[in-house]
Amino acid sequence: MSPESTGQNEHYLTVFRRGFRTWRGDRPFWAGLFTMAGGLPIAYFPYANMHLGNVTLAMSTTAGAASLIIGVLLVTLGLTMWFHSIVRVFAGVAAILLALISIPVANIGGFVIGFLLALLGGALSVSWAPGEPAAEDGDEERAPAAVGASLLAEHGADGEQATAAVPRQPADLDATVQADGRNRAG
């Protein structure tokens, strides 16, 4: 290695940021974050006391334990989305159901804030799908040849049936193949 190598001299924050972006891209990160953020107000507001001067306003409800359970479950489901993304659909559906249950149980779903965040997180989790791996350069070049070979094998060497399924080019266009493999049209 030469002393000018940039791989060893990168700042540790840059390395951490790249690693975090890779980790975040492999799972429903925002779905888990919104679900956890929705669970916090749902669990907090039934136990909160607001002080206005000398007046203490208690927002406690009779279903305080149920709202605490719903909030803790939403935070757990958010962590599940992050660290066990294979069950993302189950976690998303469960988060949506818990958000809906929090409306009558936990101060209108944490004063609608927790309800909306948990609902959005659950919907994002259900709709998230892992990305497809990028194709290698060699695979892209072989793909058209494999398609052509399968058409010849399927329809015979004369290609009479294959041309019926392929749209025909106008006669005035020159569709010759150049030496580098690209087509040249007129």
Measure Cα distances from 10 to 3, 18, 20, 124 in Å. 13, 11, 15, 34
Q: The tokens of 20 are what?
A: 């975090």
- Looking at residue 156, its pLDDT comes to 55
* Per-residue DSSP letter, 12: H
| 106 phi and psi angles, rounded to 5 deg | -120, 70
Rounded mean pLDDT for each run of 10 residues along the chain, 186 residues in total:
61 89 90 95 82 77 80 95 93 95 85 93 93 68 53 54 54 57 58
pTM of the model: 0.64
- Looking at residue 162, its pLDDT comes to 46
